[in-house]
Amino acid sequence: MKPEVLKRALRFSVLDGCAYAFMAGGAESYLTAFAVHLGVPAFQVGLLSAVPQLVGSGAQLGTPAGVRLVRGLKRWVVGLAGLQALVLAAVALVPLFGGDAFLPLLLLLTSYWTVVIAIGPAWTHWMALLVPAALRSAYFARRNRWVHICMFAGLAGAGIVLQRTAGLGITTAGFTAIILFGAAMRVVSTVFLGLQAGPPARELKRAESFATFLKNLRQRREFRLLPFLWTMNFAVAIGAPYFVPYMLKDLGLSYWMFMVINGTAFLTKSLTMGLWGRMARRLGARRSFALAALLISPGPALWAISGAPLYLCSLQVLAGFAWAGFELCQLLLFYELVEEERLSDVFSYHSLVNGFVMLAGTAIGGWVLAHPVLLDGYLQIFILSTLVRVFPIITIFPTLRGLAIRHVKPLLPEIRVAGLVPEIGSRIFPVWFRQTRKRRGLGRKGGRRPPPDGAPGP
């Protein structure tokens, strides 16, 4: 690719990311609050979070077939990005339907997240072909800085709009405005995607099928990590989907304060990611991961102590810091445990199983919320979420001890920021590139990293 063509494509990719970030921060992060405003009960709000993610995780397994059908990565990504904008605009029109808003929202949000998640593998492969290996770390670091700035600006701007429209008694109009704005930003993002140079590849291939992944899982090194993540995410799902209705309905917080609390976790996570990277290089990925897992465990139970806004903001500082370490070290462990050519596929299959366990956790949390015994329902699920988080740390995490993970990449893995979550801060996904040559990690004495369990030596 000619240098001027590459430079223009990379510039358009940054602009695409900024427009996407305005949509994610200014519209997508308020969709749960929109459901609460429309009177959707808390348990159904939880389902609006879990069901679309599960369906989307399953649907993205068909991305390679979709890319072949449209005969090109760029056509697939651009087409689905435009469809995402249309679905988001349709969400803004739900109040016009009248009656119960749950079913229309469930159908539209399921369609929305199916499109969003199906874009991921194809976009990643596109970027692998577009961005030269020598530029990737610096380029994605710069791109993510702009994405973080725009996402926070969108979050703050939408919060101001909702606060003012709520004061005027036209909150529904405020939600309609920010969601339509988000749809318009996704249209802008789609235009910038279309202006980028298209990759020559016409298909996306997987290293292995989902059936093969499940069949061989027990013999693979990642088997020691994945059950821990699935159990921990099950525990998180017991409480996480219900933070928004708790803040807006039970505590009666204003939209401005809701934005401040969400933004605190997001900013803390963004600012401390680099600190965790340095810590992982000094202590090792496994020890840093253990520390982060301990720090995220008490979070929900601490919400049961007080609903004071200043106190909740301080909790979000802790949560943002802890989740930055948990997610970053999780990605580093994936790098260490999974062969490079399998990384993207393993993460996709992990996300699918994760969707099932999170739906189960959401359902249990909703049942406990609807059947309070000794405490308020919200306080019960927050405490239960903390108690269940302790279980994988005690019973599963020690299995990682024998892996002797010492080598950590000198640079942070490339990531893309894809949205906001109240307790967690930003929702990040890895940008993993398949390589034709396998990497060789170094042990403490400079030797080559041992082969995966069950694999022949050199």
pLDDT digits (tens, 9 = 90+) for 299-355: 999 998 988 999 999 999 999 999 988 988 888 888 778 877 787 788 888 889 999
pLDDT greater at residue 393 or residue 232: 232
Backbone angles phi, psi at 169, to 5 degrees: 80, 20
Q: Which of 113, 115, 131, 106 is nearest to 83 (CA)?
A: 115
105 vs 118: CA distance, rounded Å: 19
Is the pLDDT assigned to residue 441 strictly greater than 80?
no
pLDDT digits (tens, 9 = 90+) for 368-422: 998 888 778 889 999 999 999 998 888 777 766 655 555 555 445 566 666 666 6
pLDDT digits (tens, 9 = 90+) for 100-135: 899 999 999 999 999 998 888 888 888 878 888 778
Is the pLDDT assigned to residue 262 strictly greater than 50?
yes
Q: What angle separates helix 3-26 from helix 102-130, to the nearest 10 degrees?
A: 160
Is the pLDDT assigned to residue 423 strictly greater than 70?
no
* Residue position matching structure tokens 């651009």: 78
Q: What angle separates helix 171-195 from helix 73-92, to the nearest 10 degrees?
A: 170
pLDDT attached to residue 453: 37
pLDDT attached to residue 418: 63
421 vs 58: CA distance, rounded Å: 21
- Considering the chain, tell me which residue range(s) the CATH 1.20.1250.20 domain(s) occupy: 1-205, 207-431
- CATH code for 1-205? 1.20.1250.20
Is the pLDDT assigned to residue 185 strictly greater than 80?
yes
pLDDT attached to residue 218: 84
Is the pLDDT assigned to residue 357 strictly greater than 70?
yes
Q: What angle separates helix 255-283 from helix 136-167, to the nearest 10 degrees?
A: 160
pLDDT digits (tens, 9 = 90+) for 70-86: 888 899 999 999 999 99
pLDDT digits (tens, 9 = 90+) for 21-49: 999 999 999 999 999 999 999 999 999 98
Confidence of residue 439 (pLDDT cuts 50, 70, 90): very low
- The rounded mean pLDDT for the chain is 84
The residues that bridge with 416 in the sheet, in sequence order, are: 429
CATH H-level superfamily of 207-431: MFS general substrate transporter like domains (1.20.1250.20)
CA–CA distance from 178 to each of 169, 171, 369 (Å)?
16, 11, 30
pLDDT digits (tens, 9 = 90+) for 132-170: 877 877 888 788 889 889 999 999 999 999 999 999 999
Q: For the chain, what is the HEC assignment?
A: CCHHHHHHHHHHHHHHHHHHHHHHHHCHHHHHHHHHHCCCCHHHHHHHHHHHHHHHHHHHHHHHHHHHHHCCHHHHHHHHHHHHHHHHHHHHCHHHHCCCCHHHHHHHHHHHHHHHHHHHHHHHHHHHHHCCHHHHHHHHHHHHHHHHHHHHHHHHHHHHHHHHHHHCCCHHHHHHHHHHHHHHHHHHHHHHHHHCCCCCCCCCCCCCCHHHHHHCHHHCHHHHCHHHHHHHHHHHHHHHHHHHHHHHHHCCCCHHHHHHHHHHHHHHHHHHHHHHHHHHHHHCHHHHHHHHHHHHCCHHHHHCCCCCHHHHHHHHHHHHHHHHHHHHHHHHHHHHHCCHHHHHHHHHHHHHHHHHHHHHHHHHHHHHHHCCCCCCHHHHHHHHHHHHHHHHHHHCHHHHHHHCCCCCCCCCCCEEEEEEECCCEEEEEECCCCCCCCCCCECCCCCECCCCCCCCCC
Cβ partners under 8 Å of residue 3, min gap 6: none
What pTM does this model have? 0.86
